[in-house]
């Protein structure tokens, strides 16, 4: 893919053209930058809020803020001494002898199968496997679960299909009887209570039994699976920001992909946005070839010399240039592909969180529903626009008719979504009925404070007597200090004591939600902070991918239980939607059937091969990104992609159900696109891909 851009008129556009959004009254005079600068000199910048004009606020604001920051800093120092004590105690007194050797073997596992084998050995040595056989446990309703499993078996063996269908509606719900409580999977290195394992197996068997049955009418089955789909919800993978630490997400995606557990709904913020874009604009077959250490050759966002950074920051207030980043991000996002095109090509749902530059506007979650024609690379840039690193940018959209890229959303500028919503769990639930979230968290200011006193999924507590990591006193002090700091941060936010540096309220950086149902914490070492804003080498990227895989292995069993049920429900819903559609068409005449087919068909902005249209003129308004770019795609781009006619499970959505079922019900098994292939990449002399 050749990328040529023209920036001769860039300075002219930046200095001469001024625009306002569509809501500005007509005949309003537009002032140039020169005149606006003069006005700024004479403006007094008076605030209209009486609260901020009070003498007490002006006098006491900074002394109170200084005292709180000193107190919080002292608490942070104490906190790290407590963490150091707990780590040293565990190293010298807890993890010794055979126990240490088994844990070391677990951490050095080459793949998931080897990891499972080592985890089972460690469970047996620590006698944690006995816990699985006893159903009693405080954190779930084992009595209800026993009755449910017994009833499911009985109805299936008695061939009571109607009763089984009704019973499934009652027992297939998100976190039914506490079966999705993470603490159930936090008591051993692998597995959970046997009754929970049995419940998941029986539910899948019962669903398969209903799917294969031919006595219940297809219409009733369609309604059944639609109801189950709503009650059980969807699973989403959420990738956090974290600058170059976000490349650990590649390992997370690779581990999920190899186990066939990669959710169709993926969200990303800041650095996680570029990884999410790579994962959702490519089929699973293409991803398997892309997720290799040689991918580092395509990551060149930070390859400029230090002298260039300093000059740019002094002139523009940002270290990086949006034009340069747009060119470099184009490969990750397959050119100017839009959210709608990515969804139709792969069946995956990409979500990128962005924040308007206006501090009072709500957060925007870009996806194929909220912004179908928005160009993905512009959303990735906006989500990465941290103040001081990259200036706020304008989202871009592809005109459905002309295929030209133009400013989107009245030219409003957007910036890093991590500043207010790093993990958009609530928005995902609103749009896609997401009730189970897998979060990969690598934000450095959050990862440093991660501590699971009661253990985490696949990582049980070593002290079984107290049930708390670090003992009661250590765990209590650790929790107290974090809650104390959080209290003072909320106090600072409520009184607006923190100065708005670079026109940004920084108080939300620590006060938002950073975890999900399952949270992965790729290990970050102190030496990694030196490379936080630098491109990875192949060796470092291989280490990051490995790091992401190891953090994912302990969670795969939990995720598998969830997705087994979810995908079986989707399978039944697809099958009987298709049957009901065929029955409806068979009852109509040929003319009416043609009208129905036309009504249910959807126009696409991509061609039959699933590729975006060849040439685009990109007229960008991204913070001075006034340039023209022409993307010329390779001739080989039209080799097989998602084709609904080749997919036996594909069923077009009913128009009346589109709002309820916009959840990516696609099967991409027929996708064989190899245009991003890394074949020959390992043999550099033969590789012509680059």
Does the annotation mark 507 as catalytic? no
Tokens 């989500």, residue located? 383
Q: Which among 270, 378, 384, 456 is annotated as catalytic?
A: 270
Of 415, 391, 395, the C-alpha closest to 405 is 395
The distance in angstroms from the start CA to the end CA of the chain is: 9
Q: Which among 416, 637, 663, 675 is annotated as catalytic?
A: 416
Does the annotation mark 602 as catalytic? no
Q: How would you label 363-372 residue by residue, b for 16+ Cβ within 10 Å and e otherwise?
A: bbbbbbbebb
* CA 111 – CA 528 distance, rounded (Å): 24
Both structure tokens of 41: 């000199």
- Contact by Cβ (8 Å): 334, 281: yes
* CA 133 – CA 125 distance, rounded (Å): 16
* CA 414 – CA 427 distance, rounded (Å): 18
Neighbouring-strand partners of residue 374: 397
Torsion (CA) 224, 225, 229, 232 in degrees, nearest 10: 70
* CA 21 – CA 32 distance, rounded (Å): 15
Both structure tokens of 340: 């709608």
CA atoms within 13 A on the CB side of 113: 1
Distance (Å) of CA 638 to CA 245, 612, 614: 34, 9, 10
3-state secondary structure of 485: helix
- Counting every residue written for the chain, the total comes to 690
Rounded to 5°, angle at Cα 638 from 618 and 632 = 30
Q: Would you name the residues annotated as active-site residues?
A: 270, 416
């Amino acid at each position: 893919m050749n990328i040529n851009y023209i920036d001769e008129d860039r300075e002219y556009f930046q200095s001469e053209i001024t625009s306002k959004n569509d809501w500005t009254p007509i005949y309003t005079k537009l002032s140039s930058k020169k005149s606006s600068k003069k006005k700024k000199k004479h403006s007094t910048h008076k605030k209209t809020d009486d609260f901020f004009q009070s003498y007490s606020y002006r006098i006491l604001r900074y002394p109170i803020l200084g005292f709180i920051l000193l107190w919080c800093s002292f608490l942070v120092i104490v906190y790290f001494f407590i963490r150091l004590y707990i780590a040293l105690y565990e190293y010298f007194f807890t993890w010794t002898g055979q126990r240490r050797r088994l844990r070391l073997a677990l951490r050095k596992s080459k793949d998931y199968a080897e990891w499972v084998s080592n985890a089972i050995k460690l469970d047996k040595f620590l006698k944690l496997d006995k816990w699985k056989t006893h159903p009693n446990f405080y954190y779930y309703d084992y009595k209800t679960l026993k009755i449910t499993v017994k009833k499911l078996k009985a109805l299936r063996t008695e061939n009571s299909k109607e009763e089984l269908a009704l019973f499934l509606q009652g027992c297939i719900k998100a976190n039914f009887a506490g079966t999705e409580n993470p603490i159930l999977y936090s008591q051993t290195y692998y597995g959970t209570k046997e009754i929970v394992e049995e419940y998941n197996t029986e539910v899948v068997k019962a669903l398969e039994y209903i799917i294969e049955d031919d006595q219940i009418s297809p219409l009733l089955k369609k309604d059944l699976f639609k109801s189950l789909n709503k009650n059980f919800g969807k699973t989403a993978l959420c990738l956090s920001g974290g600058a170059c630490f976000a490349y650990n997400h590649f390992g997370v995606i690779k581990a999920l992909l190899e186990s066939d557990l990669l959710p169709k709904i993926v969200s990303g913020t800041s650095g996680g946005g570029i990884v999410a874009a790579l994962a959702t604009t490519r089929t699973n077959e293409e991803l398997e070839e892309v997720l290799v250490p040689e991918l580092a050759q395509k990551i060149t966002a930070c390859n400029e010399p230090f002298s260039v950074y300093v000059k740019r920051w002094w002139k523009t207030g940002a270290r990086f240039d949006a034009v340069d980043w747009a060119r470099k991000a184009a490969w990750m996002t397959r050119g100017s592909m839009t959210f709608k095109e990515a969804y139709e090509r792969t069946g995956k749902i990409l979500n990128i969180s962005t924040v308007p530059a206006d501090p009072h506007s709500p957060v925007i979650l870009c996806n194929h529903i909220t912004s179908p024609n928005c160009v993905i690379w512009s959303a990735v840039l906006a989500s990465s626009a941290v103040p001081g690193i990259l200036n706020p940018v304008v989202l871009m959209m592809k005109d459905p008719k002309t295929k030209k890229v133009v400013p989107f959303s009245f030219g409003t500028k957007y910036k890093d979504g991590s500043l207010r919503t790093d993990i958009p769990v609530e928005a995902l639930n609103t749009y896609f009925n997401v009730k189970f979230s897998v979060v990969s968290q690598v934000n450095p200011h959050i990862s440093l404070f991660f501590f699971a006193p009661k253990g985490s999924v696949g990582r049980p507590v070593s002290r079984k007597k107290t049930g708390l990591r670090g003992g009661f006193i250590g765990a209590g002090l650790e929790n107290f200090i974090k809650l104390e700091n959080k209290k003072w941060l909320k106090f600072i936010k409520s009184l607006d004591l923190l100065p708005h540096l670079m026109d940004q309220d920084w108080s939300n950086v620590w006060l938002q939600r950073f975890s999900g149902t399952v949270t992965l914490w790729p290990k970050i070492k102190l030496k990694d902070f030196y490379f936080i804003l630098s491109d990875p080498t192949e060796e470092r990227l291989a280490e990051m991918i490995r790091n992401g895989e190891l953090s994912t292995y302990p969670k795969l069993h939990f995720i598998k239980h969830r997705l087994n049920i979810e995908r079986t429900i989707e399978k039944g819903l697809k099958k009987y939607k298709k049957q009901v559609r065929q029955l409806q068409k068979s009852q109509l005449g040929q003319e009416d059937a043609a009208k129905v087919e036309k009504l249910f068909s959807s126009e696409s902005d991509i061609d039959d091969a699933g590729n975006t249209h060849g040439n685009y003129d990109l007229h960008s308004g991204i913070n001075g990104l006034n340039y023209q770019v022409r993307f010329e795609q390779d001739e080989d781009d039209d080799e097989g992609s998602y084709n609904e006619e080749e997919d036996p499970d594909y069923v077009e959505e009913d128009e009346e159900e589109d709002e309820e079922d916009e959840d990516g019900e696609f099967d991409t098994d027929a996708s064989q696109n190899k245009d991003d292939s890394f074949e020959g990449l390992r043999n550099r002399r033969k590789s012509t891909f680059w």
